[in-house]
Amino acid sequence: MTDMQRITLARRPKGDPVPEDFSLKTGPVPEPGDGEIVIEVSHLSLDPYMRGRMDDVKSYAPSVGLGETMTGQGVGRVIASKAEGFAVGDLATGMTGWASHAIVKATEARVLPAEIPSSLFLGALGMPGFTAWTGLRKFGRPKAGETLVVAAATGPVGAMVGQLAKAAGLRTIAIAGGPEKCRIATETFGFDAALDHRAYEDASALRTALAEVAPDGVDIYWENVGGKVLEAVLPLMNVGGRIPVCGMISWYGGVEDADDRLPMLWRSVLVKRLHVSGFIIFDHWDEYPEFLAEVPTKVLSGEIKHLEDVAQGLHAMPTAFIAMLKGGNTGKQIVAL
Amino acid sequence: MTDMQRITLARRPKGDPVPEDFSLKTGPVPEPGDGEIVIEVSHLSLDPYMRGRMDDVKSYAPSVGLGETMTGQGVGRVIASKAEGFAVGDLATGMTGWASHAIVKATEARVLPAEIPSSLFLGALGMPGFTAWTGLRKFGRPKAGETLVVAAATGPVGAMVGQLAKAAGLRTIAIAGGPEKCRIATETFGFDAALDHRAYEDASALRTALAEVAPDGVDIYWENVGGKVLEAVLPLMNVGGRIPVCGMISWYGGVEDADDRLPMLWRSVLVKRLHVSGFIIFDHWDEYPEFLAEVPTKVLSGEIKHLEDVAQGLHAMPTAFIAMLKGGNTGKQIVAL
């Protein structure tokens, strides 16, 4: 057998990673234990999430330790197997890490069909494509006639999001870096329009251009970049719009202004998979009869308590209002005339 | 008939409103037109949303014009009616504005039952209580055993949110201003714990105290204040947590730091009723077979396009990764070994 090569995390990057943060190590190809297979890797995936694993901060997955092999998905041939369902010669995929060979637990590996190029399972048919497919239907909830904006639109997630949305009858707008990617977005991936974010000096200029190609506003903003694009899109969102937060690559190397709490919030939303829903009660009055059928008896019986803070006279409205905004009332503030 | 008194918006406030922003006007009681009623107001509601109506900015409802009667809900007796379903003497409610008498369209008014104190329809049984009931079930989606945090907890929205959540089997934590409101929160409204936000100098100190009374983290943060409380709660949110964004009273008078984009984002979420969902694909692998049943045939047929950017050799991983983070790749970045 040949030697195994792997790339380890040599040190934690400060901001953007540099080559010196990585180290190439060589050693013997490992032997599988019970329930394990050894994959000889033919293709490795590179994905933005890997940047997060290089930092020593709590996230949704453990960070890579110093000196450990960088994490990542690979495809290749099984060259040794002590697991049922995997034979030597099978094509398989698993979290091989950045390595020429890897031991993978059979429970965390998958045999791949021979009739599909294996590398597709790292992109369109793997984690990125599946991310687009799942996130769009679950959290984007596209409806025909709506408008979708996605950045990094020629990447494997963005391209799939755009094509699935287009097939569902949406107007699709790509944001990409450079004229060549914009050409690919419209010609290859069928986006209705594409904007080169590098051509706009700030969020405001990008917003103006976006408003022109999204004349009906934006119903779905697929968030995978954060930063300038987020700021450009937000004011263009339509009522009831959806923002699946899938990533924020522009902030992975750190944020410019440490006092800016927007990245902190956005990071919480992603890492904790939060569901943030703005709502205004005026949209929901059709359910008021249901409320009236349920709650008044409980309030009158005292099962649900209430508290009123009553000021006297119309002239008291301004001062009671001003006090209420500062928390000066206790309970529901009303004014009796 | 007596004269009608009303309070108008005399000028737009800069930051916190002051009494001089309002003006008391007197005039004759109006006569109803067809389909209208006149209500002699007994109780008027004061609600935080009114602050937003005083500004001349686009929101979910038009702002109050200078010289116009301040907007708001009132209850009282019908003293004149040219509308079916409303008789003189009926108790009724509608958007009367800050006034002793008001013409209201019958289609926008509601007859109230005589057996329930009318003022309740401004609080626990009106817009605030209904807001709590609707927002909690639709966007909070409470589950027994979870933990909920709500600020302004003795207000009519917060108190209802807390009691409904408690009845649903949640641990409920109140945040309120001052020891007396904290006492009311636990003793009257049954919160499991109450924290006085004024007792903590910053978000970090409040967060430490919150973590002690929410040892299992926070599953639902009912957002109606923004500011310090939001910043304290966010890092304590559990995976899959929900944040119904109902208001942000701490920012209604303006924000301290104009470069802080968090209030801008939060305001967009509220005004546009956005649904922001963080998600991580690793939570969703159980649906991967469904994806594999649908998407591969479309990719192989070319109905869905894909694009790969292939670098050669394991040694190329670091440089290809570094380039990808800066958008140097076109399509899915993989490395062939």
Band (pLDDT 50/70/90 cuts) for residue B255 is low
pLDDT of residue A61: 77
3-state secondary structure chain B: CCEEEEEEECCCCCCCCCHHHEEEEEEECCCCCCCEEEEEEEEEECCCHHHHHCCCCCCCCCCCCCCCECCCCEEEEEEEECCCCCCCCCEEEECCCCECEEEEEHHHCEECCCCCCHHHHHCCCCHHHHHHHHHHHHHHCCCCCCEEEEECCCCHHHHHHHHHHHHCCCEEEEEECCHHHHHHHHHCCCCCEEEEHHHCCCHHHHHHHHHHHCCCCEEEEEECCCHHHHHHHHHHEEEEEEEEECCCHHHCCCCCCCCCCHHHHHHHHHHCCCEEEECCHHHCHHHHHHHHHHHHHHHHHCCCCCCEEEEECHHHHHHHHHHHHCCCCCCEEEEEC
List CB contacts (< 8 A) between B315 and chain A: 24
A123/B231 touch (CB, cutoff 8 Å), yes or no: no
CATH superfamily of A3-120: Medium-chain alcohol dehydrogenases, catalytic domain (3.90.180.10)
List CB contacts (< 8 A) between B131 and chain A: 281
A242/B277 touch (CB, cutoff 8 Å), yes or no: yes
Any B CB within 8 A of A299 CB: yes
Weakly modelled stretches of chain A, pLDDT under 50: none
Q: Which has more pLDDT, B262 or B4?
A: B4
- From the list A150, A167, A168, the residue with the least C-alpha distance to A159 is A150
**Which of B59, B237, B275, B282 to mutate against chain A (most A CBs within 10 Å)?**
B275
Distance from CA of B59 to the nearest CA of A (A): 11
Any A CB within 8 A of B51 CB: yes
List CB contacts (< 8 A) between B252 and chain A: 325
Any A CB within 8 A of B114 CB: no
Mean per-residue pLDDT of chain B:
94
Q: What is the mean pLDDT of residues B233-242?
A: 96
Band (pLDDT 50/70/90 cuts) for residue B256 is low
List CB contacts (< 8 A) between B318 and chain A: 7, 17, 19, 21-22
pLDDT, tens digit (0-9, with 9 covering 90-100), for B116-150: 999 999 999 999 999 999 999 999 999 999 999 99
Task: Tell whether the model's pLDDT for residue B57 goes beyond 90.
Answer: no
Q: DSSP state, A140?
A: I
* Torsional class of A66: left (φ above 0), alpha (ψ -120 to 50), beta (otherwise): beta
B19/A305 touch (CB, cutoff 8 Å), yes or no: no
Q: What is the mean pLDDT of residues B279-296?
A: 94
- From the list A182, A241, A249, the residue with the least C-alpha distance to A213 is A182
Is-above-0.90 flag for pTM?
Answer: yes
Give the residue ranges of DSSP H helices in A276-316.
288-301
ipTM of the complex: 0.91
What is the residue type of A253? G
What is the share, in percent, of chain B residues with pLDDT greater than 90? Answer: 87
B322/A18 touch (CB, cutoff 8 Å), yes or no: yes
Q: What is the mean pLDDT of residues B304-313?
A: 95
pLDDT, tens digit (0-9, with 9 covering 90-100), for A58-116: 777 789 999 999 999 999 999 999 999 999 999 999 999 999 999 999 999 999 999 99
CA distances, A213 to each of A159, B53, B169 (Å): 18, 31, 48
Q: Which residue of B has its CA nearest to A189?
A: B305
Token code pair at residue B59: 């929101």
Going from N- to C-terminal start, the domains of chain A cover: 3-120, 127-271, 283-336
CATH of domain A127-271: 3.40.50.720
Task: Tell whether the model's pLDDT for residue B182 goes beyond 90.
Answer: yes
Q: Which residue of B has its CA nearest to A320?
A: B46
B44/A317 touch (CB, cutoff 8 Å), yes or no: yes
Token code pair at residue B99: 């006034």
Residue A4 · residue A28 · CB < 8 Å: yes
pLDDT of residue A256: 65
Any A CB within 8 A of B293 CB: no
A159/B306 touch (CB, cutoff 8 Å), yes or no: yes
Distance CA A203, CA A247 (A): 19
List CB contacts (< 8 A) between B5 and chain A: 314
CB contact residues (below 8 A), chain A span 191-230, against chain B: none
